[in-house]
Amino acid sequence: MNILVCDPVSPKGVALLQQQPEFKVSVLNRKHSESELLPLVSDMNALVVRSETKVTRKVIEAASKLRVVGRAGVGVDNVDVEAATQRGIVVMNTPGGNTISTAELTFSMLMALARRIPQAHMSMKAGEWNRKAFQGMELYGKTLGIVGLGRIGTEVARRAQAFGMEVLAYDPYLAPSKAKNLQVEVAELNQIYARSDFITVHMPLTEETRGMLNADAFAKMKHGVRVLNCARGGIIKEADLITAIQSGQVAGAALDVYETEPPPADHPLRALPQVIMTPHLGASTSEAQDNVGIEVAEAIIDFLVHGAVRNAVNLPSLDTKTYELVKPYLNLGEKLGRLLAQLAPKSNERLVVSYGGKAADLPTDPITRAVLKGFLEFAGGSEVNYVNVKLLAQSLGLRVESIKSNEETDFSEWLHVIVSSDGQKHSAAGTFFSARHHPRIVRLNDRPVEIVPKGVLLLMTNKDRPGIVGYIGTLMGKHKVNIASMSLSRNTVGGQALTVLNLDSVPGPALLEEIQQDPDISNVRIVKL
């Protein structure tokens, strides 16, 4: 079997591959463009990459014998996972391999900001001796605001506590019990901004987090705050950061990641002496590189030699026959999780997945992981996958349970998901019509419904009055929004009804505002599945 190592990977990982008698390992000595890769991959059974090589759809189509792509690192943005999945190619990554390295880099940057070490170093190299120009500040007694308390944020918090810092943490997905165990104070974003001497971000780049540290956020921060980003470029709006530094509102920044990488040679950040910059070094330690290199090599060996799947982002760890049996439930479970993520509060203590009827005979672990993947996508972004999702749940303090239920229902097989925290509970259940070909959501917060789990849903609570269905349909037509299907569930005649519409497009603000003006309609929500 032919293995192509496209990017620099730890020699220990390469050596593991080379020790396999079945493997013929080729190592590229420089970055190759897409056109250069095409003729090289035609006979390859496996590709090993880091972040430089782009495994595009064209590359995947050219690799007719390709069975697995191994990413030595966490993110798989440089791999077309959808194209790989369509071709039946497994994509693997190495979750958790750079946690300590990134946490240590963050804390190193924190200390460098506090004591102005890089600036003093450059002054000394220039032949100067200017002690007064580089007066710093102690970390002891200062307040560190951590935005995102996952694996890396947690490690940063522990190091800050060891230095006698007060630690505030904001993570809308963090369970209160997890924060209590870490002995950090949970705070809202505005509190983080107002009280923190240093603010560090440790979140994935999502629609929610992109540009969240912007001009409005900087204006709310304590004057003279120092900010750090060793997570993902784009979380900090760089133009606004530059303005805030020039005005003195932000005293300094330490950045390892950027909106564009590498940043242009004439980027204004490079000219600001208050800014410490490193070239995306979060995972650049020998230990981290050995960890991810060995881990990706072991995963590829397990798959190609032994047929075992681990660390896959697009396939649960199942043999082919079992995978075909559970595949419909993987899709349904992910949709139920995604639905509840948009209806329930962000912070939850417990998630329970119940399997009933024929579903109780299936392997529950991959299905539960699918539910979690849908539920935590908004917390973890594109890095959430079947492999790391339980680790993410654990880091957020979310207790996950799978149970086989003997509850009697009208269905021969079903899946029921409940999320709860502080006495609040949200739930959804699904089943299949026509031999698992047509999934349906059949229960929502204990109300019977029949919802096709795809596309855009509009949910509302309304009074059960004559003509309200026609009224809603007229509004939709007025605003050019087409209704694909509708589900109505009322408690009593003339009482409260739950109305769910499958829509062909996302309704605009004007339509939502007009709907909510009706005194008999409330709790209007848009959900994207």
The CA distance from 309 to 319, in Å, is 8
Could you say which of 22, 138, 208, 261 is catalytic?
A: 261
How long, in residues, is the chain?
A: 529
Could you say which of 87, 195, 210, 280 is catalytic?
A: 280
| 22 Cβ neighbours under 8 A, 6+ residues apart | 1, 304, 305
Question: Which tokens in the block code for residue 42?
Answer: 């035609």
Q: Is the peptide bond before 262 cis (omega within 30 degrees of 0)?
A: yes
Question: Which tokens in the block code for residue 127?
Answer: 């032949």
Q: Is 232 a catalytic residue?
A: yes
β-bridge mates for residue 94, sequence order: none
- In angstroms and rounded to an integer, the radius of gyration of the C-alpha atoms of the chain is 26
Q: Is 416 a catalytic residue?
A: no
Could you say which of 116, 232, 416, 426 is catalytic?
A: 232
The CA distance from 9 to 5, in Å, is 8
Ramachandran assignment for 112, one of left (phi > 0), alpha (psi -120 to 50 degrees), beta (any other): alpha
Ramachandran assignment for 58, one of left (phi > 0), alpha (psi -120 to 50 degrees), beta (any other): alpha
At which residue do the structure tokens 């079945």 appear? 22
Q: Is 280 a catalytic residue?
A: yes
Host H or E run for residue 192: helix 189-195
Question: Which tokens in the block code for residue 138?
Answer: 């102690």
| Residue 258 Cα distances to 10, 159, 270, angstroms | 25, 25, 12
Residues carrying an active site annotation: 232, 261, 280
